[in-house]
Amino acid sequence: MNIKQTLFASTLCVFGTAAMAAELPAPLPNIPDAPTVYPAGELGRMVRLGEDIIYNTNTHELTKDLVGNDLTCSSCHLDGGKEPTLGTFIGTATSFPAYSPREKTVQTLQNRINNCFMRSMNGTRPIIDTEASVAMATYVTWLSSGLPINLNPKKPVNPFFTDVWWGKKWVLPMLKTVTRENYKNGEKLYAEKCQDCHQADGQGLQTEDLKFPPVWGDRSFNTGAGLSKPEKLPTWLLYNMPLGDPDLTKQQAVDIAIYVSAQPRPDFDLNKALFPREQMGVYNSKVLTEKHTVRSNFAKWGLDVDVLRGEKKASAQ
């Protein structure tokens, strides 16, 4: 428990309201500290190279051409995945190789990283075993030094968050009741809690010193990315935003996620995201077509994004 959660919990003891408890995110698991000692020799050089790429993915010489937006891995895996929060890389490598229901094949860590390139970075997959690909996997693996290997037969996910990601139990019931009011409330909350950094137009602010990444539009993640999904973004927000002081209730996280997810962003089409086979090596998947738009990400849950945006009246049921 961090200090805020402890305070919150003790407030709960005093007032004892169950309704308030339902608002709280589940406490973060105890995540060990990131290692501080780099391995010797060439291996250590690869860890540092991977670290450099993870923090500077869109500008690094080895990866900038593979990135199609203004994000770095560190934009979502905070502090290069060292931050002990949802999205951390500490522990991640212990669950790989892991079965992935999305590709219906067993994924290696390099492969899983490539999926974030193609979706979250709106880019293209690095060729497996190139220097950049090995370096990133080496760095991510180093962050699990000393932790026991425990291959995951169900999903390629950080073991500390197997049951936390997406909080299906609480997000899905809330999504079922979403209306235009939630969108409008999300818009208001975005102005209060997010806009200072990510700006009213969602394009963020990138100067010499400030790096606030875009949260929608052409320079953001595409509609195939985890965070583009209205059912997935709320959980990530609960633990990570506003940066440095995440304080959203579950309902606020859902409303903001509805508003942010309803904004335009690049469509995802697997066939367009893949390099020609001869340039890419093997794309390890049994699923070879997949397309998403903002509209389809909402339609999946029976929601009409045009109605939420106020561009269309709800049809009479």
Say if residues 53 and 60 touch (Cβ distance below 8 Å): yes
Assess 73 for contact with ligand HEC (CB under 6 A): yes
Assess 196 for contact with ligand HEC (CB under 6 A): yes
The number of residues in the chain equals 317
Assess 139 for contact with ligand HEC (CB under 6 A): no
Question: What is the distance between the alpha carbons of residues 134 and 136, in angstroms, rounded to a whole number?
Answer: 6
Residues 19-58: x where in contact with ligand HEC by CB under 6 A, - otherwise, as a string:
-----------------------------------x--x-
Assess 127 for contact with ligand HEC (CB under 6 A): no
Question: What is the distance between the alpha carbons of residues 167 and 10, in angstroms, rounded to a whole number?
Answer: 24
Assess 75 for contact with ligand HEC (CB under 6 A): yes
Assess 214 for contact with ligand HEC (CB under 6 A): yes
Which range, of 177-185, 241-249, 278-286, 309-317, touches ligand HEC by CB under 6 A? 241-249
Say if residues 162 and 260 touch (Cβ distance below 8 Å): no
Of 49, 62, 78, 273, the residue at the interface with ligand HEC (CB under 6 A) is: 78
Residue 314, Cβ density class (10 Å: 0-12 exposed, 13-18 middle, ≥19 buried):
exposed
Say if residues 250 and 170 touch (Cβ distance below 8 Å): yes
Distances 6 to 12, 170, 234, 305 between C-alpha atoms, Å: 10, 22, 22, 38
Distances 170 to 27, 166, 188 between C-alpha atoms, Å: 15, 9, 22
SS3 144: coil
Residue with tokens 């997935």: 232
Distances 201 to 220, 284, 298 between C-alpha atoms, Å: 12, 37, 21
Residues 87-126: x where in contact with ligand HEC by CB under 6 A, - otherwise, as a string:
--x--x-------------------xx--xx--xx-----
Which range, of 26-34, 39-47, 167-175, 218-226, touches ligand HEC by CB under 6 A? 218-226
Asked if the peptide bond before residue 242 counts as cis, ω within 30 degrees of 0, the response is yes
Least distance to ligand HEC from the beta carbon of 135, Å? 10
Assess 74 for contact with ligand HEC (CB under 6 A): yes
Of 48, 180, 211, 309, the residue at the interface with ligand HEC (CB under 6 A) is: 211
Say if residues 151 and 97 touch (Cβ distance below 8 Å): yes
Assess 85 for contact with ligand HEC (CB under 6 A): no
Assess 140 for contact with ligand HEC (CB under 6 A): yes
Which range, of 8-16, 142-150, 189-197, 282-290, touches ligand HEC by CB under 6 A? 189-197
SS3 106: strand
Which range, of 30-38, 212-220, 284-292, 309-317, touches ligand HEC by CB under 6 A? 212-220
Name residue 172's beta-bridge partners. none
Of 62, 164, 260, 262, the residue at the interface with ligand HEC (CB under 6 A) is: 260
Assess 243 for contact with ligand HEC (CB under 6 A): yes
Question: What is the distance between the alpha carbons of residues 315 and 178, in angstroms, rounded to a whole number?
Answer: 15
Residues at the contact surface with ligand HEC, assessed by CB under 6 A:
54, 57, 71, 73-78, 89, 92, 112-113, 116-117, 120-121, 136, 140, 156-158, 165, 193-194, 196-198, 211-215, 220-221, 225-227, 236-237, 241-243, 248, 256, 260
